[in-house]
Amino acid sequence: MVTIILAGGKSSRMGQNKALMKVGGTRVIDRIAFEMRPISEKLIVIANHPGSYKTLDALILEDDLEFKGQGPLAGIYTGLKAAESGPCLIVACDMPFASAELGVKLITLLQKNGREAVIPAQDGQIHPLFGAYHAKIADAVKRTLRDGKRSVKALLDQVNTEFFEIEKETDAFWNMNTRDDYIAAVKKAEGREKHGMYHYEGSNKNR
């Protein structure tokens, strides 16, 4: 499988690039890459500023020129197009506790049930920016964008999608949108490390 990290957002509410903010002493993008690398044949990062990610062992791409600046759906298209074939895990760059275990579960369901997308859902809310997508739907993403639709939900309505209900409490798709969210993430990370729930040994820890 291929993991595609979406790092092309404007971060307007946060006021700075969320992917480069440090949680637990480590950039969020590095936390995600470290978590997902063991389950991935390849890592792809979709970014507005590729130079910020040159230390990552990943393929760094900018949005396809036709759809540049059109939000996460454009990043999904660029990533799936680059992956070419097979199952892909999409992860937004503002999810410091993204879980490889859940990612594997979503990919397994995608393949086992013959789906084109498998999206986690909890308490009536879906989380399409942490989901399994098959690369073969890249053309469907392109059509959605060309129709002037930018929401990921508009895509999911057009493809064979399964929503996987998450029953237990999880931070796997918890994301940071505001400064308060970032402060909460730092505290969560401190609590995890204190109780031995998260241990980071990646080469980018001090960046």
- Known binding site: residues? 6-8, 18, 63, 94
Torsion of CA 123, 177, 138, 78, to 10 degrees: -160
Round to whole Å and give the CA distance between 89 and 102.
Answer: 10
Q: How far is CA 136 from the centre of its chain?
A: 18
- Return the half-sphere exposure (C-beta side, CA atoms, 13 A cut-off) of residue 77: 25
Round to whole Å and give the CA distance between 30 and 10.
Answer: 19
SS3 174: coil
Round to whole Å and give the CA distance between 154 and 72.
Answer: 12
Which residues contribute to the annotated binding site for GTP?
A: 6-8, 18, 63, 94
Which residues contribute to the annotated binding site for Mg(2+)?
A: 94
Contact, 175 vs 181, CB < 8 A?
Answer: yes
